[in-house]
Amino acid sequence: MAAITCTRCSQSKEPMDRPPFRGPLGQRIHEMICGACWAEWQGMQTRIINEHRLSMGDPHAQQMLDEQMKKFLNLGE
């Protein structure tokens, strides 16, 4: 695969092997985010869930986490 320029770290790197999850957002992340930045997000995601005591069964909590992910990864809207 061709290298990508990660929108978070602005470095040219190899893309992840596959999208991190299904759907258009997962595909977008696969095309725009390097594996190292995705791993950083996974750590940050855990902290956010714990600090805010988010229930991932709650659609509002999931929406808040998605917004935080887009900000962290510089994905915009």
Q: What's the pLDDT tens digit per position in 18-54?
A: 999 999 999 999 999 999 999 999 999 999 999 999 9
Query: Does 77 have pLDDT greater than 80?
Result: no
Q: Which of 72, 77, 68, 64 is nearest to 33 (CA)?
A: 72
Residue 75 confidence class, pLDDT cut points 50, 70, 90: very high
Contact assessment for residue 73 and residue 41, using Cβ atoms and an 8 Å cutoff: yes
